[in-house]
Amino acid sequence: MLWLDSCIGETFTIPEKPNKQLRKLFIKLSEKIIEVVVPNRKFNISKNFREGDSIKVKGEYNKEKVFQIYLLEKRNSTESWDIFEWNSGNVIQEIKNDGNKITAWRVSAFVGAQMKEGIIDVKDITAKFPIKEGIPVFVKFYQKEKSRSMFSFSTEKKSRVNILSISERTDGKLWDSFPENIGIVDHINKEKGIAHFIVSKEIDSIIKLNQLKEKVEIGSNLLVKLKKVTKDRYSYYIVLTCRLTQQESTENLFKSFNGMVKLSGSFGFADDVYIECSLIEDHEIEDGNFVNGTAIINYNKKKGIWGWKAIKIFNN
């Protein structure tokens, strides 16, 4: 039985046994890293080791496919969490307690084309460097898989990302792990000082007008970096960076249109394009007028379907 490189994880308790401390151990197998839970008193772990320390273990899977540890010893290493790789990422957001003190940071890590996200407590950040939202960092993390064991201590429905360590990444830029997208402004609310833009049928968001150095109008192109936020079954996007751009979207968001206007109260339609009342008034459009212009894709919440909304009228 070979020695396996491993690291010491955190302690925790379960509601059924609040006085019994358990300890996570991370073990590097040939194809993956696994998490194993043992009683904290076993092997005198708390006495001899600290979280992140390098160890080596001997063990194997039993008939129930639970990994059993037989021996545990110290392993020399110059780096904490040394069985985990460094990944590029960014600090996303500060987390404060009721006393308005920063207690943790939300951090992203990019693995291939996939974004991982988790939280690290301030007390667990050993490297000393200025931390603020957006800064580039190197990240070590462990993603806990859904447990199939009858001894599962978790009620989590999704895999959880544990941020183990972060360090300064001096060759990066603010928010550089997040991809840039091209959004098109389709609505401006001057009273609230916000503009709504759409990137695709799946992605849209709002930006405060005072966050932009230049004046925007309906149809303006924005170069944006966005972060997806999911709460329960609802998700939305918040803006990390935003500026005007001359780049054109590759999404099918625009089309030219022309046709005879059919008014319905204060608004109207030209073929399948919705024309809101402000455009009707600005261009003094009457029922039966022939118009042409530009339309942007638009979602009708009441009907639950996508359609087209005029953003510019060239003549009438």
In 120-167, which residue ranges form alpha helices assigned H by DSSP? none
Give domain limits for the chain.
Answer: 4-74, 87-168, 180-244, 254-315
- On the question of a common fold for 180-244 and 254-315, the answer reads yes
Yes or no: say if 223 and 246 are a contact pair by the CB < 8 Å rule: no
Domain covering 4-74, topology: OB fold (Dihydrolipoamide Acetyltransferase, E2P) (2.40.50)
Domain covering 254-315, topology: OB fold (Dihydrolipoamide Acetyltransferase, E2P) (2.40.50)
For residue 292, pLDDT over 60 is answered with yes
Residue that is written with structure tokens 């780096």 in the block: 79
Instruction: Name the residue with higher pLDDT: 20 or 230.
Output: 20
Q: Which residues contact residue 150 at a Cβ distance below 8 angstroms, ignoring those fewer than 6 apart?
A: 64
What is the full DSSP assignment across 254-288?
A: EEEEEEEEEEETTEEEETTEEE-HHHHHHTT--TT
- Find the length of the chain: 316
Q: Which residues contact residue 282 at a Cβ distance below 8 angstroms, ignoring those fewer than 6 apart?
A: 313
Residue that is written with structure tokens 């008939």 in the block: 63
Instruction: Name the residue with higher pLDDT: 230 or 137.
Output: 137
Distance of alpha carbon 162 from alpha carbon 143, whole angstroms: 6
Indicate the CATH number of 180-244 among 3.50.50.60, 2.40.50.140, 2.40.160.10, 3.40.190.10.
2.40.50.140
Look up residue 250 and give its amino acid: T
Average pLDDT value for residue range 133-146:
90
pLDDT for 231 equals: 81
For residue 155, pLDDT over 50 is answered with no
CA atoms within 13 A on the CB side of 79: 11
Confidence of residue 146 (pLDDT cuts 50, 70, 90): low
* Tokens standing for residue 93: 């957001």
Look up residue 19 and give its amino acid: N
Helix (H/G/I), strand (E/B), else coil: 43: helix
Specify burial of residue 223 (Cβ count, 10 A radius: 0-12, 13-18, 19+): middle
Per-residue pLDDT of 158-194, as tens digits, reads 568 999 999 999 999 999 999 999 999 999 999 999 9
Average pLDDT, the chain: 91
- Per cent of the chain over pLDDT 90 is 82
pLDDT for 159 equals: 67
Global pTM exceeds 0.85: no
Element (H or E) spanning 47, and its range? Answer: helix 45-48
Yes or no: say if 265 and 287 are a contact pair by the CB < 8 Å rule: no
What is the maximum span of the chain, computed from C-alpha positions, in angstroms?
86
Average pLDDT value for residue range 190-212:
94
